[in-house]
Structures are given as C-alpha cells and as structure tokens.
Amino acid sequence: MHRPDLKVGELARRTGISVRTLHYYDEIGLLTPARRGDGNHRLYAVADIARLQQITSLRQLGLSLEEIRAVLEDPDCTPLRVVELHLAQAHQRLAAERALCDRLEALAAALGRMEEVSIDMLMQTIEGITNMDQYFTPEQRAEIAERGRQIGQERIREVEAEWPQLIEQVRVEMERGTDPSSETVQALARRWSALVREFTGGNPGIEQGLRDMYRQESASSNPHLDPRMPEYMAYIGKALQASK
C-alpha cells in the first residue's frame, strides 16, 4: 500500500518506454531501480519513476544519455548552459538540413525536367548545383528556389529551350561584326535581359552572382556552357550600354 514498487513490464506499460530501454538504462547506470526482489526482479520505486520522467523529457529535447546524466547528477552543470550548448548544435544541424533540402529540391526539379536520366547526366546536374552554391549566398539560393516554384516547370522548360537559340543568334551577329547599337542586336539584347530578369527577379545580387558564375564556369571549361559565353555577355553588355 505504501510502496507499490513496479516491475519492469509494469513500468514499461505505464510509461510507454520499452523494457529493453529500461534494461539498458540500468545497464549504463542511468536509472537503477531502487531494489531487486523475488527472483532478482527489478523493482522501481516512486523516485525512480520520477527520474524516468525527467530522463524522457530531456530525451525529447535531443539530449544524449550522457548529457542527461550530467544534468541530473552534476550540480555544477547548470541546465541553462547545457541547453544553450545543445541549442547551438541544433542550429547547426538545422542549417545543414536546410542546405541539403535546397540542393535536393533543385536537383529533383532539374531531374524532373529531363526525360531520360543517365548516371552521367545525374552527376553533371549535381555538379552544376554544387557549383551554384559557390556563387550565391544561402538567402539568394532560397530566393532562387522560391522563384523556381512560382514560375513553374513548363516555363522553365520553355526558357531552357529558348536560350540556345538566342545564343546562336547572338553568335551570328557577333561574328558578322554587327554594331551592338543596331536594332537587330538591340532586340536580341532586350530579349536576353528579359530572360535573365525572369531568373534573377531583378535582384541585383543574384544577377551579379549569375554573371560571376558564367564567367568562371565557362573559363574553367564547364561542359554545359559555351566557352565563348563571356564574349557574348560582353557583346550584349555593349548593346545595353548603347541603348542608354
């Protein structure tokens, strides 16, 4: 009546903690039942139950069993410090997860736009996305991902189809030596800017990153990019200058 000590099975049923876990906590000395009795059965007293609740509460916060032991047994170890330390780690994991999700989303979107995906294509796409990370801040990447969702797959596919044509036209005019201020080139430049703005959303930071990326990547002979992209970009730049 005064001390309804519980056996493992009983305690497990009442708390939802598995018997194995209780055994384990006993094994590592985190929660040792008050006494043994009747065939060496573990008998948990009220204080043990309270301690178990403390342990589970702290576990829900993601503390390791070692950390929990420290908080519960070391009086020098203030909960605030432990929690703050743990919070810092949680923040780091959070940031890492976010970055991972962003990359996976970009990858899934890119793969979704392709009909057949060979391993090679997959690797190239991954590389492309990984390279992107170097040219944009996390915030910018989030913004780009957001715009990608808003614009939609079809429109992206359209633009991806239009780009090579546009580039080809620019190449032709450039090799012909057409004056950048001519109406033909002006029209191409306007179209070019429009497509770029559709991607950047007018954000100048993103636009800058995009320029850097094209310059760098085509310089380091990225197989996706026309190595003469910087030339085209300069040509279009002149055209835009002239229109002002």
The residues that touch a second copy, with contacts defined as CB under 8 A, are: 53-54, 57-58, 60-62, 71-72, 78-80, 83-84, 86-87, 90-91, 93-94, 97-98, 100-101, 103-105, 107-108, 111-112, 117, 119, 122-123, 126-127, 130
94 binding partner (options DNA, a second copy, none; Cβ < 5 to 8 Å by kind): a second copy
Q: Which helix (H) or strand (E) holds 64?
A: none
155 binding partner (options a second copy, DNA, none; Cβ < 5 to 8 Å by kind): none
10 binding partner (options DNA, a second copy, none; Cβ < 5 to 8 Å by kind): DNA
Residue with tokens 């850097």: 212
Which residues are paired to 42 by β-bridges? Answer: 36
Nearer to DNA, 29 or 177 (CB): 29
Residue with tokens 């309270």: 50
The span from the CA of 117 to the CA of 143, in Å, is 27
DSSP 32: -
Q: Quote the least distance from Cβ 108 to a second copy, whole Å.
A: 5
For residue 70, give every residue at least 6 positions away whose Cβ sits within 8 Å of its Cβ, in sequence order, or none: 77, 82
Q: Quote the least distance from Cβ 142 to a second copy, whole Å.
A: 13
Which residues of this chain interact with DNA, rule CB under 7 A? Answer: 7-10, 18-21, 23-24, 38-42, 59, 64-66
Q: Quote the least distance from Cβ 21 to a second copy, whole Å.
A: 19
Of 3, 6, 2, the C-alpha closest to 41 is 6
172 binding partner (options a second copy, DNA, none; Cβ < 5 to 8 Å by kind): none
Nearer to DNA, 54 or 169 (CB): 54
123 binding partner (options DNA, a second copy, none; Cβ < 5 to 8 Å by kind): a second copy
H-helix segments, the chain: 8-15, 19-27, 46-60, 65-73, 79-112, 119-135, 138-151, 153-176, 183-200, 204-219, 229-242
Q: Quote the least distance from Cβ 23 to DNA, whole Å.
A: 5
In degrees, rounded to 5, the angle at the alpha carbon of residue 181 between the alpha carbons of residues 178 and 184 is 60
